[in-house]
Structure 1
Amino acid sequence: MNLMNKKILVTGADGFIGSHLTEELVRQGYDVRAFVYYNSFNSWGWLDHTSKEVKENLDVFSGDIRDPYGVKEAMKSCTHVLNLAALIAIPYSYHSPGTYVDTNIKGTLNVVQAARELGVEKVIHTSTSEVYGTAQYVPIDENHPLQGQSPYSATKIGADQLAMSFYKSFDTPVSIIRPFNTYGPRQSARAVIPTIIGQLASGQSTIKLGDIHPTRDFNYVKDTVNGFISVMNHDESTGEVINIGSNYEVSIGETAHMIAEVMGVDLTIETDEQRLRPAKSEVERLWADNKKAKDLLGWTPNYGGKDGFKRGLEETIEWFTNPENLASYKTDVYNI
């Protein structure tokens, strides 16, 4: 499919994955409109740090995904919408769940409703592996039951179901991409890999973490970005839910020791009680079955397996240990 004569809207373009995706789309020659969260500083989030070449080829729209009028205005003249705008921090969802309903569910409604009214050619809605909860079987395929083990995951389940309901009810061309735990440069300090790297890069050999026994399927951000572009470019993805994961399972504790090894640090881990999720809320195991992405899209992770994970960690560590980048993070406090 040739989309070079199309207009692509990326919501959440100022965030971690969104900024990487926006940059890659521009570099590949797409006509991109970046929807960033309005603020009085006129900050474009991570897009403020992108190259001059990317900035000069961006159409930036400042707004709020919770505002249906602004969302529809941003989507005018756009043929494809990649919806990444969301609140994602699990601990923050425990004490402010209403904001997650407004942003994740109502924000998604605003996107698919506008897409229906405007006749948008395709909407790619972003899900998360957290919707599966603790694995009932592994590897986890797209038919695995959905379990809302946190307010965050519950709102993402709701958003996914709402998006798919528009496909089934109104034939709105929706695809759902379900990335497993994405990591890489620019990720928020509320995520475990930046938490580990940040503490070690700040000179601490004894670091504070929550539960280190759960396992995750970490997906390097470049692979996640390629997944979005593959979903966008394949008609076969319409009406489908597609996992994007590395098909490699690793524990939080082993991840911490791999990072310490790359950084050349002797590591001691302390359990910080405030970082522990409530017992029934903790997702104990995630491991992606990515066969559908391979068969339907031809997508495969370039950073898969243990060797690929280590390469991704090396690139991530290189970015975070740059003093200019590290200065953007508060490594001495718990970020929720």
Structure 2
Amino acid sequence: MTKVLITGADGFIGSHLTEQLVREGHDVRAFCYYNSFNSWGWLDNSPQDIKSQLDVFTGDIRDPYGVKEAMKGCTHVLNLAALIAIPYSYHSPATYVDTNINGTLNVVQSARELGVEKVVHTSTSEVYGTAIYVPIDEEHPLQGQSPYSASKIGADQMALSFYRSFDTPVSIIRPFNTYGPRQSARAVIPTIISQLASGKDTIKLGAVSPTRDFNYVKDTVQGFISVMNSEKSIGEVINIGSNYEVSIGETAEIIADIMGVNLTIETDEQRLRPEKSEVERLWAENKKAKELLGWEPQYGDKEGFRNGLEETIEWFTNPKNLSQYKADVYNI
């Protein structure tokens, strides 16, 4: 009998992952960020049959005592709690160290002390920086091009150090750019969709030439579950990516085509990263995930990308969902 603790369960990917694990029959404890509103983040919008089966723990990943308390009785831990916005990491880098590095330390230290069977720690493609070669495999050099990416490099190495030092059963999942329903408007795809859905045909973006390897959230969730279930993943870093590269500009054009809008893009200076901080190219090699886990993206080619965008647009254009976004305000 597995009991799974998911940190960051209230967030975009975490809420989708939580729901899927409940549907598959797992006993799930959802670690949500404590707040005085008693909000469970996106889990508040989950179907009642999902919420009724959840064991919700509210706390703060930076608190070692709370993390250990949340982990008691759990066999598996999926660590998704993190600060992720790159622009905000320019503004408040110390908070990224506290949350991403020290938070990860709290997770692996508690897992070691409690004898947890498996820790899946969440990395990011941003740790690679601008591609030195493509497609990017797990041996690609790590480059901290923002305080965010530097903190995630540190968090990854902290998690791996516990595997190497204490045999803590740690796996590192490294998703490339995930998109889908519920994603924050600080990410580019929701930024584009929410502006167009609000009636604009001229939208504000940052750089449109960088390329990304976008992954629909359903594929990312299956990647997490595959890593969690595989003994072969222990001690490994595994990319979860589509092996499909597309520019931000082309992505905006595809979205506009689906939504039937004649699009004009304006460059918004405040949305541009510092020159040496911009990651110009990301393109995932996913061979290791296929061979080690048997995982393959279902939305991984051009047609799949369009299908994922259509599902995402359908969610965002629901007035109830769109009302939760401030399309006319830049969200760092």
Output the TM-score relative to the length of structure 1.
Answer: 0.99
Code of the aligned partner of 1:247: N
Alignment partner of 1:232 is 2:242: no
* 2:132 alignment partner in structure 1: 136
Code of the aligned partner of 1:43: S
Tell me the matched-pair count: 332
Give the percent of matched residue pairs that are identical in Structure 1 and Structure 2: 83
SS of 1:280's partner is: helix
The match for 1:124 among 115, 120, 123 is: 120
Instruction: Provide the C-alpha distance between the structure 2 equivalents of 1:305 and 1:284, rounded to a whole number of angstroms.
Output: 20
* 1:281 alignment partner in structure 2: 277
Alignment partner of 1:158 is 2:151: no
Equivalence map 1:195-214=2 (5 Å): 195-214=191-210
SS of 1:287's partner is: coil
Give per-residue Cα distances to partners, 1:43-77, cap 9 Å, x unaligned.
Answer: 00000000000001100000000000000000000
* 1:61 alignment partner in structure 2: 57
Instruction: Provide the C-alpha distance between the structure 2 equivalents of 1:233 and 1:100, rounded to a whole number of angstroms.
Output: 29
Report runs of 4+ in structure 1 exceeding 4 Å deviation. Answer: none
Equivalence map 1:299-318=2 (5 Å): 299-318=295-314
Alignment partner of 1:217 is 2:213: yes
Instruction: Provide the C-alpha distance between the structure 2 equivalents of 1:40 and 1:287, rounded to a whole number of angstroms.
Output: 41
* 1:322 alignment partner in structure 2: 318
SS of 1:255's partner is: helix
CA offset at residue 97 of structure 1? 0.3
Give per-residue Cα distances to partners, 1:301-333, cap 9 Å, x unaligned.
Answer: 000110000000000000000000000000001
Give per-residue Cα distances to partners, 1:162-194, cap 9 Å, x unaligned.
Answer: 000000000000000000000000000000000
* 1:91 alignment partner in structure 2: 87
Alignment partner of 1:248 is 2:274: no
Code of the aligned partner of 1:198: S
Task: Point out where structure 2 has 5 or more consecutive residues left out of the alignment.
Answer: none
Equivalence map 1:9-88=2 (5 Å): 9-88=5-84
Instruction: Provide the C-alpha distance between the structure 1 equivalents of 2:145 and 2:262, rounded to a whole number of angstroms.
Output: 34
SS of 1:335's partner is: coil
Code of the aligned partner of 2:40: W
* 2:100 alignment partner in structure 1: 104
Instruction: Provide the C-alpha distance between the structure 1 equivalents of 2:73 and 2:90, rounded to a whole number of angstroms.
Output: 38
Code of the aligned partner of 2:321: N
Instruction: Provide the C-alpha distance between the structure 2 equivalents of 1:304 and 1:121, rounded to a whole number of angstroms.
Output: 31
SS of 2:51's partner is: helix
Code of the aligned partner of 2:135: P
Code of the aligned partner of 1:243: N
* 1:333 alignment partner in structure 2: 329
CA offset at residue 95 of structure 1? 1.0
Instruction: Provide the C-alpha distance between the structure 1 equivalents of 2:317 and 2:2, rounded to a whole number of angstroms.
Output: 38
Alignment partner of 1:259 is 2:278: no
CA offset at residue 90 of structure 1? 0.1
Instruction: Provide the C-alpha distance between the structure 2 equivalents of 1:309 and 1:153, rounded to a whole number of angstroms.
Output: 25
